[in-house]
């Protein structure tokens, strides 16, 4: 779902050469990124890869060193105030005033956004996410604080939500409920930009995902098209002929004395004859999961 502004197609997020330097080291390194309105877009990378720094730069919590970015057609630096009226943000590290209880936080959020008659929707989300409205934030677990943060972002019904590790601290039931709500909101047009370590949830819910490593976007995957190209091959046996798979371009995912797991994106007619080998006792060939893709990009890739 792409809206237009002044006759020009507008993106939910558009970053061009976005860079953030710290002490001459790039935490975000010339990122180019486009997120269409209406997408659920994943942002994947290990700790320290630059995910949170990218998000904070987009939201103008920190200033970029160079490059440009816009959200919903608005400049992230010059029009940050207008962006914040339309975008909710859920931080990975939730911090509230510890002496306030959950309902006081929600009333504060409702007043901030000039929301009238917000109490019914607040009570609905409190029931749905099992939040005690009278419990002080300082007495809550990380998971309960995260639920309060999610609800504070939802009640404004924004055009876009940016969520940084939203399921961190949530039990499986609450994770499921969160994504049920997010899917419903997305079906009504809300754009979701989701930074996550949970590759299963990214693969299950996102339409696209960008992989970031050492501040650089190293790959953008179309998850709906899926089907992520290539196969994952798992072999069990003795003296597995690793060198033969190197020669045809296989990339390592995992290996041990009796196991070899690799990614292969070439001609299957070249691979299959190599599997006819008396040393190979078992073979599994499957479509590549997002986790496999992650491992081939973030581990030291080629078999050697």
Nearest to 264 by CA among 237, 300, 290, 296: 296
CATH of 230-287, one of 3.30.70.1110, 2.60.40.10, 3.90.550.10, 3.40.50.11540: 3.30.70.1110
Sheet architecture: strand order including 74-75 = 25-35, 13-22, 66-71, 74-75
State the pLDDT confidence band at 299, using cuts at 50, 70 and 90.
low
- Are the C-beta atoms of 182 and 153 separated by less than 8 Å? no
Predicted local distance difference test score (pLDDT) of residue 101: 96
Q: Tell me the two tokens of residue 119.
A: 């109490």
pLDDT digits (tens, 9 = 90+) for 24-59: 899 999 999 999 999 999 999 888 899 999 999 999
pLDDT digits (tens, 9 = 90+) for 90-117: 998 888 899 999 999 999 999 988 998 8
* For the chain, percent of residues with pLDDT exceeding 70: 93
Predicted local distance difference test score (pLDDT) of residue 5: 47
Query: What span, in angstroms and rounded, lies between the C-alpha atoms of 197 and 203?
Result: 11
58 phi and psi, to 5 degrees? Answer: -60, -40
Report whether pLDDT(195) > 60: yes
pTM (global) more than 0.95: no
pLDDT digits (tens, 9 = 90+) for 116-130: 889 999 999 999 999
Instruction: Judge residue 230's burial from the number of C-beta atoms within 10 Å of its C-beta, 0-12 exposed, 13-18 middle, 19 or more buried.
Output: middle
- Are the C-beta atoms of 27 and 179 separated by less than 8 Å? no
Predicted local distance difference test score (pLDDT) of residue 78: 96
* Structural fold of domain 11-226: Rossmann fold (3.40.50)
Where exactly does CATH 3.40.50.300 map onto the chain?
11-226
Q: Tell me the two tokens of residue 217.
A: 């976007």
Q: Tell me the two tokens of residue 219.
A: 């790959």
Got the DSSP string for 120-140?
HHHHHHHHHTT--TTSBGGGS
Where exactly does CATH 3.30.70.1110 map onto the chain?
230-287
Predicted local distance difference test score (pLDDT) of residue 297: 72
- Averaged pLDDT for residues 160-170: 92
pLDDT digits (tens, 9 = 90+) for 199-257: 888 888 998 999 999 999 998 988 866 555 678 899 999 989 888 998 999 988 888 88
């Amino acid at each position: 779902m792409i809206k237009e502004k002044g006759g020009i197609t507008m993106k939910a997020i558009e970053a061009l050469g976005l860079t953030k330097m710290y002490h001459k080291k790039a935490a975000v390194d010339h990122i180019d990124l486009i997120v269409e309105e209406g997408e659920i877009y994943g942002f994947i990378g290990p700790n320290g890869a630059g995910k949170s720094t990218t998000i904070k730069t987009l939201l103008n919590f920190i200033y970029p060193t160079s490059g440009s970015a816009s959200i919903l057609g608005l400049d992230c630096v010059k029009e940050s105030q207008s962006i914040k009226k339309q975008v909710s943000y859920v931080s990975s590290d939730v911090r509230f005033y510890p002496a306030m209880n959950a309902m006081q936080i929600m009333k504060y959020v409702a007043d901030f956004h000039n929301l009238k008659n917000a109490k019914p929707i607040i009570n609905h989300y409190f029931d749905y996410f099992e939040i005690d409205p009278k419990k002080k934030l300082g007495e809550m677990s990380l998971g309960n604080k995260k639920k309060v943060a999610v609800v504070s972002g939802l009640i404004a019904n924004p055009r876009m939500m940016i969520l940084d590790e939203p399921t961190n601290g949530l039990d499986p039931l609450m994770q499921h409920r969160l994504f049920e709500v997010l899917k419903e909101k997305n079906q009504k047009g809300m754009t979701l930009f989701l930074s996550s370590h949970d590759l299963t949830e990214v693969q299950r819910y996102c339409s696209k995902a960008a992989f970031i490593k050492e501040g650089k976007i190293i790959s953008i995957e179309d998850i709906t098209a899926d089907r992520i190209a290539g196969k994952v091959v798992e072999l069990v046996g003795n003296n597995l002929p690793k060198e033969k798979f190197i020669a045809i371009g296989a990339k390592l995912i995992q290996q041990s004395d009796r196991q070899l797991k690799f990614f292969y994106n070439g001609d299957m007619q070249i691979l299959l004859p190599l599997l006819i080998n008396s040393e190979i006792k078992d073979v599994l060939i499957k479509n590549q999961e997002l986790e496999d893709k992650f491992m081939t990009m973030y581990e030291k890739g080629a078999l050697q």
